[in-house]
């Protein structure tokens, strides 16, 4: 029998094609590492918040043996500097250059909105572990966008309910002029005014400014019954100290969403003593779940955890629940959504569920700041659900 050179070449090509097919089938059966893109602030006024989120996220991944849905976790990191003007370029480094499977970020509402837009366009799975921008689980909601934290509306609304019930009538608000400040005040106003109170003045300064003196003088002149504020991170430390140093703390009680004092008590010292805030976490929950989380965190990082660490930890829990439902495939967002919408997350903050719009439905605690902790003194608002205005999921 004679075999022509042409036949031999054709058989060779068939063998090569079969080998390539077998290799690609094997690759499909054993998905590679799970690429997790952490886009967080590691510099600036929110630097400590970004680090706490990463710590919490890694803590849960470590508890899972370094794998999620059977895939070894590999991290890619970008410092977003809490700068919305750089956010699209930054998130594209993770989506296009590093080709991550999932984005975790960020802290600043303006940065998170840019991330949500890119996630929506590219279909990349996004879990927001802090930023409260209402639109993320409102008008921008999508099957592939989730939040493990809160909407800005929520803690503001919870504090407004508490202050109205206390019989406070006239309030001045003060915050940074950007989505988180504006929306916290809007949430506060909604419940406070429903409860019979009036916001007599809304004061602002640009983010991340800390020139508070002129505004404190305006508060003193307005003589309200109380002040409601949203500040967080390094800016909140300075605000609480300046408020006390200006002598206002004794005459005009200061209330806030809990970011004012969370993670900040050591730096704020006596200036924070006695302040009431509302948040979905407190340092004294004293549940089995939270005690175990806190002990582990303290052992690993030699630090006490705060709300940001909890939100990072729960972002990893949510990712694991979602990917376990799809055998590790991060692109199946409808299945991930269905899985997360039907579970109760066993969080250190207490159990919570995920709304139709993908935002936590959770208790907001009333807390009082003491020397060492943000102590839970009651429930400000139970199982509070964001209204998800504009979401069409």
**Residues at the interface with ligand BEZ (CB under 6 A):** 46, 107-109, 130-133, 152, 180, 232, 259
Q: Which is nearer to ligand BEZ, 132 or 312 (CB)?
A: 132
Decide: 139 and 73 in contact? Cβ < 8 Å: no
> What's the min distance (Å) between Cβ of 263 and ligand BEZ?
10
Q: Which is nearer to ligand BEZ, 109 or 191 (CB)?
A: 109
How far from 220 is each of 159, 246, 260, CA to CA, in Å? Answer: 22, 9, 20
Could you tell me which residues are beta bridge partners of residue 361? Answer: 353
Tell the smallest beta-carbon distance from residue 131 to ligand BEZ (Å). Answer: 4
Tokens of 102: 């999932």
CB 131 within 8 A of CB 109: yes
* Smallest distance, ligand BEZ to C-beta of residue 105, A: 12
> What is the DSSP secondary structure assignment for residue 234, as one 8-state letter?
H
Smallest CA-to-CA distance from 340 within 127, 136, 130, 184 is with 127
**Residue the block writes with tokens 């376990």:** 324
Q: At its nearest, how many Å lie between ligand BEZ and the CB of residue 325?
A: 28
Output the smallest distance, CB 81 to ligand BEZ, in A. 13
| For ligand BEZ, the closer CB: 37 or 258 | 258
Structure tokens at 265: 């008590």
Nearer to ligand BEZ, 41 or 197 (CB): 41
* Cβ closest to ligand BEZ, residue 208 vs residue 322: 208
- Least distance from C-beta 164 to ligand BEZ, angstroms? 23
- Both tokens assigned to 212: 């508070």
Q: What's the first-to-final CA gap in the chain, in angstroms? A: 68
- If the CB atoms of residues 133 and 216 are measured against ligand BEZ, the closer one turns out to be 133
Of 333 and 374, nearer to ligand BEZ (C-beta) is 374
Decide whether 130 or 244 has the Cβ nearer to ligand BEZ. 130
CA dihedral for 244, 245, 248, 251, sign (positive or negative)? positive
Between strands 125-128 and 102-104, the pairing is parallel
Contact in structure between 305 and 344 (CB atoms under 8 Å) = no
The nearest distance, CB 48 to ligand BEZ, in angstroms, is 11
Q: Are 389 and 357 in contact (CB under 8 A)?
A: no
SS3 label, residue 354: strand
Least separation in angstroms between residue 154's CB and ligand BEZ is: 11
């Amino acid at each position: 029998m004679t075999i022509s050179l042409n036949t031999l070449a054709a058989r060779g090509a068939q063998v090569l094609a079969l080998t390539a097919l077998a290799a690609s089938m094997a690759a499909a059966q054993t998905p590679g590492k799970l690429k997790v893109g952490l886009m967080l602030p590691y510099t600036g006024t929110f630097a400590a918040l970004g680090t706490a989120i990463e710590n919490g996220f890694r803590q849960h991944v470590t508890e899972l043996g370094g794998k999620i849905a059977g895939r070894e976790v590999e991290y890619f990191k970008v410092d977003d500097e809490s700068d919305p003007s750089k956010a699209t370029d930054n998130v594209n480094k993770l989506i296009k250059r590093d080709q991550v499977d999932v984005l975790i970020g960020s802290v600043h509402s303006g940065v998170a909105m840019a991330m949500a837009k890119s996630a929506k366009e590219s279909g990349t799975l996004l879990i927001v572990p802090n930023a409260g921008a209402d639109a993320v689980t409102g008008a921008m909601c999508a099957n592939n966008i989730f939040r493990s934290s809160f909407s800005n509306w929520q803690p503001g609304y919870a504090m407004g309910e508490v202050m109205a019930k206390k019989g406070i009538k006239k309030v001045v608000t003060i915050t940074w002029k950007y989505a988180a400040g504006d929306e916290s005040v809007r949430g506060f106003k909604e419940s406070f005014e429903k409860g019979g109170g009036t916001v007599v003045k809304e004061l602002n300064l640009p983010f991340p400014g800390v020139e508070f003196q002129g505004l404190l003088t305006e508060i003193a002149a307005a003589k309200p019954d109380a002040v409601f504020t949203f500040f967080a991170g390094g800016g909140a430390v300075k605000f609480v100290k300046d408020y006390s140093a200006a002598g206002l703390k004794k005459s005009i009680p200061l209330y806030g969403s809990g970011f004012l004092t969370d993670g900040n008590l050591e730096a704020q010292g006596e200036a924070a003593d006695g302040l009431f805030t509302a948040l979905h976490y407190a340092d004294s929950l004293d549940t089995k779940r939270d005690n175990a989380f806190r002990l582990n965190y303290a052992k690993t990082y030699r630090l006490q955890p705060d709300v940001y660490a909890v939100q990072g930890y729960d972002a990893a829990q949510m990712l694991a629940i979602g990917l376990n439902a799809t055998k590790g495939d991060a692109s199946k967002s409808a299945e991930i959504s269905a899985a997360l919408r039907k579970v109760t997350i066993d969080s250190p903050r207490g159990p919570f569920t995920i709304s139709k719009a993908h935002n936590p439905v959770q208790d907001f605690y009333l807390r009082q700041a003491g020397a060492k902790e943000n102590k839970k003194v009651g429930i400000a608002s139970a199982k509070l659900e964001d209204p998800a205005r504009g979401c069409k999921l």
